[in-house]
């Protein structure tokens, strides 16, 4: 992975407007909304307030009063994969959704208005990985980064990077920076020279029960301690804590199975 910290300002404040294509929000749809709030509240120190209800019960997670992420409740009859979904900023959600279709992707929900907050759509790329589009109005997206409990990076795990990277570049005009390596398939997506997301081709190592999917990395002060906390709260460890060039990282799942990663800033 590569970290993108260029959007953070003093004290973790982010710019009010996200450049198109920038991951600007992450959202999770679950069956047990109250239990999921308890889990992430205990893990990251989040508090919650009601958000737009267009897709059902929905809350926004707050850290020190600033919006970090969203959690919604799936209808009882919807048995969809429980997963964190990144939303990519757009100046025109309808036009972006049309471009997704033209480039071989699918628009599953929307575009639709989320009250006065903005306009959204939920899409999937040609490999099936789900992502959102967000055209901000009153709600621009994540209001703080660079501190524990906030999203630090979003990375697509897929079969191979080359073709899927072309899709995202066509839709969002990313610049790409491939890793030149015979045994490591990775592309970093840039906007205005700044890294904003990654695509990691893992071939047959992709989990069979999940398929291609986006993974959100959340910053923590102590990866090992956070992993222990995940287990204590009923979650699971998918990849134990280990050191990387970008900090100490672990991959875990919450009690409903939503996968996410934890990263400790090495600074």
Instruction: Write the pLDDT tens digit of every residue in 31-88.
Output: 999 999 999 999 999 999 999 887 789 999 999 999 999 999 998 877 778 999 999 9
173 conformational bin, left if phi > 0, alpha if psi -120 to 50, beta if neither? left
**Same-domain check for residues 126 and 155:** no
Kindly state the average pLDDT of the residues 130-140: 94
Q: Is the pLDDT of residue 7 over 70?
A: no
DSSP output for 79-125 = -----EEEEEE-S-HHHHHHHHHHTT-EEEEEEEEETTTEEEEEEE-
Domain presence at residue 144: no
pLDDT at 3: 39
Domain containing residue 83: CATH number: 3.10.180.10
CB atoms within 10 A of CB 116: 9
3-state secondary structure of 141: coil
Q: What is the pLDDT of residues 19-43, one digit of tens each?
A: 999 999 999 999 999 999 999 999 9
Q: Is the pLDDT of residue 10 over 70?
A: no
Tokens of 146: 């660079």
Domain presence at residue 4: no
**Same-domain check for residues 100 and 126:** yes
Kindly state the average pLDDT of the residues 166-178: 96
Tokens of 49: 């307030």
Query: What is the reported pTM?
Result: 0.92
Q: Is the pLDDT of residue 129 over 90?
A: yes
pLDDT at 17: 57
- Structural domain for 102, as ranges: 22-136
Tokens of 26: 């992450």
DSSP output for 162-229 = HHHHHHHHHHH--EEEE---SS-EEEEEEETTEEEEEEEE-GGGS-TTT-SEEEEEEEES-HHHHHHH
**Same-domain check for residues 86 and 180:** no
Tokens of 188: 């970093």
Kindly state the average pLDDT of the residues 201-230: 94
Peptide bond into 217 cis (omega under 30): no
Task: Specify whether the CB–CB gap between 263 and 15 falls below 8 A.
Answer: no
Q: Residue 12 gets which letter from DSSP?
A: G
Q: Is the pLDDT of residue 14 over 70?
A: no
**Same-domain check for residues 225 and 202:** yes
Q: Residue 121 gets which letter from DSSP?
A: E
Q: Is the pLDDT of residue 262 over 50?
A: yes
User: How far apart, in whole angstroms, are the C-alpha atoms of residue 132 and residue 154?
Assistant: 12
**Same-domain check for residues 163 and 220:** yes
pLDDT at 153: 97
Band (pLDDT 50/70/90 cuts) for residue 150 is: very high
Count of structural domains, the chain: 2
């Amino acid at each position: 992975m590569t970290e993108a910290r260029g959007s953070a300002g003093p004290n973790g404040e982010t710019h009010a407007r996200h450049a198109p294509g920038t991951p600007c929000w992450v959202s999770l749809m679950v069956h047990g909304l109250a239990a999921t709030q308890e889990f992430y509240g205990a893990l990251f120190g989040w508090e919650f307030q009601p958000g737009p209800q267009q897709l059902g019960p929905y809350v926004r997670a707050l850290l020190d009063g600033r919006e970090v992420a969203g959690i919604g409740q799936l209808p009882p009859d919807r048995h969809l994969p429980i997963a964190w979904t990144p939303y990519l900023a757009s100046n025109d959600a309808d036009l972006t959704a049309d471009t997704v279709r033209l480039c071989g992707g699918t628009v599953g929900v929307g575009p639709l208005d989320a009250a006065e907050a903005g306009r959204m759509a939920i899409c999937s790329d040609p490999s099936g990985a789900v992502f959102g589009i967000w055209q901000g109005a009153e709600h621009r997206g994540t209001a703080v980064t660079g501190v524990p409990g906030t999203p630090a990076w979003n990375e697509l795990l897929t079969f191979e990077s080359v073709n899927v990277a072309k899709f995202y570049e066509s839709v969002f005009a990313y610049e790409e920076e491939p890793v030149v390596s015979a045994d490591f398939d990775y592309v970093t997506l840039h906007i205005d020279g700044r890294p904003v997301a990654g695509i990691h081709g893992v071939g047959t190592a992709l989990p069979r029960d999940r398929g291609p999917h986006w993974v959100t990395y959340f910053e923590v002060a102590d990866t090992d301690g956070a992993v222990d906390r995940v287990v204590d709260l009923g979650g699971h460890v998918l990849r134990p804590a280990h050191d990387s060039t970008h900090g100490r990282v672990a991959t875990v799942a919450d009690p409903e199975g939503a996968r996410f990663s934890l990263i400790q800033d090495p600074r």
